[in-house]
């Protein structure tokens, strides 16, 4: 007998097709919490993204064996309640790895070569070549804060650009770093020496405000910082002051403490590149986020 899967958030059609190969699949996109509580008892598995809130009430009303989130975090799932009922949880943190990595380098190059203001002036009918002398990334020191999947992919590409790499991550060894041509250092050492700093850590009690006023003051005045991880890791008030006072050279932010960052003073600065949480927004990453979760659910039901 095939397992029954309910999908309540939009995932890529290719993932749905894969799920239908081994399961009976129902779609109820945008299902309310009230209706989800009423119907969840019929299903063996649930697939969500971020819109659906899998609350304790939903979990207690269910007979789920497994649930999957097509994405990185599990913020919208009551993990404790699921664990108490013995429901396995899977997600797809590996799906956006390449997409986020490539956005980091797009942001770095946009900052270093003044691409956004240069584009703007041409559209305004001005040809101000002399205003936009930039800097090369070749020969610069890349500091990677967090050396997991994305941090390692960043290191590979930084090496291809001819950069020297420093890595900070309390969970790696010097040998782990060396495998990716990186030097393992303490955070303050990384901040003092790097020309480009990129953040790749989750938001936890330990990492909230990790890049604060004191640590920003350690950076070179010419250095830039990129955050495509989580907004709360960087203290935005301190970052604004550092940028406004030219204490650092620039910043690229794909994530914010509040999203969207309505009224943020960071929007008024010209040495910042801002994107609306586009890290995972590629066709390939969207396909992967759904298909990886579906594959994990399929393997679960096949006992793999």
From the list 13, 136, 186, 259, the catalytic residue is 259
Of the residues 230, 236, 295, 298, only one is catalytic, namely 230
Q: What own/partner pairs with CB < 8 Å and gap ≥ 24 does 265-270 have? A: 265/240, 266/236, 266/239, 266/240, 269/240, 269/243, 269/244, 270/117
Cβ atoms of 93 and 69 closer than 8 Å: no
Q: Is 94 a catalytic residue?
A: no
- Of the residues 149, 164, 208, 277, which is catalytic? 277
Q: What burial class does residue 245 get, using C-beta atoms within 10 Å of its C-beta: 0-12 exposed, 13-18 middle, 19+ buried?
A: exposed
Active site residue 284: no
Asked about 200 being catalytic, the answer comes back as no
Q: How far apart are CA 301 and CA 304, in angstroms?
A: 8
Location of structure tokens 């939009």 = 10
Residue 221: which of 239, 241, 243, 237 has the closest Cα?
243
In whole angstroms, give the CA distance from residue 104 to residue 285. Answer: 15
C-alpha to C-alpha distance for 48 and 286, rounded to whole angstroms: 13
How far, in Å, CA of 239 to CA of 218, rounded?
Answer: 12
Catalytic residue numbers?
A: 230, 259, 277
């Amino acid at each position: 007998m095939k397992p029954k899967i309910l999908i309540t958030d939009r995932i890529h059609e290719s993932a749905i097709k894969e799920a239908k190969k081994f399961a009976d699949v129902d779609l109820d996109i945008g299902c309310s919490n009230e209706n989800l509580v009423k119907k969840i008892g019929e299903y063996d598995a649930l697939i969500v993204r971020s819109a659906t809130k899998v609350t304790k009430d939903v979990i207690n009303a269910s007979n789920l064996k497994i649930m999957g989130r097509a994405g990185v975090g599990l913020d919208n799932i009551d993990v404790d309640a699921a664990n108490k009922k013995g429901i396995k949880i899977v997600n797809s943190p590996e799906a956006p790895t390449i997409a986020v990595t490539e956005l980091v380098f797009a942001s770095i190059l946009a900052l270093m070569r003044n691409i956004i203001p240069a584009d703007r002036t041409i559209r305004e009918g001005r040809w101000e070549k002399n205003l936009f002398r930039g800097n090369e990334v070749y020969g610069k020191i890349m500091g990677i804060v967090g050396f997991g999947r994305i941090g390692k992919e960043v290191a590979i590409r930084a090496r291809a650009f001819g950069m020297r790499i420093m890595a900070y991550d309390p969970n790696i060894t010097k040998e782990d770093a060396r495998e990716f041509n990186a030097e393992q250092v303490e955070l303050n050492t990384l901040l003092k020496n790097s020309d480009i700093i990129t953040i790749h850590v989750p938001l936890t009690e330990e990492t909230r405000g990790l890049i604060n006023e004191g640590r920003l003051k350690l950076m070179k005045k010419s250095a830039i910082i990129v955050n495509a991880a989580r907004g709360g890791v960087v203290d935005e008030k301190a970052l604004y002051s550092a940028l406004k006072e030219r204490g650092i050279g620039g910043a690229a932010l794909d994530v914010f403490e509040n999203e969207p960052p309505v009224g943020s003073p960071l929007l008024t600065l010209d040495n910042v590149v801002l994107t609306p949480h586009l890290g995972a927004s590629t066709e390939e990453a969207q396909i992967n986020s759904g298909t990886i979760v579906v594959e994990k659910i399929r393997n679960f039901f096949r006992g793999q």
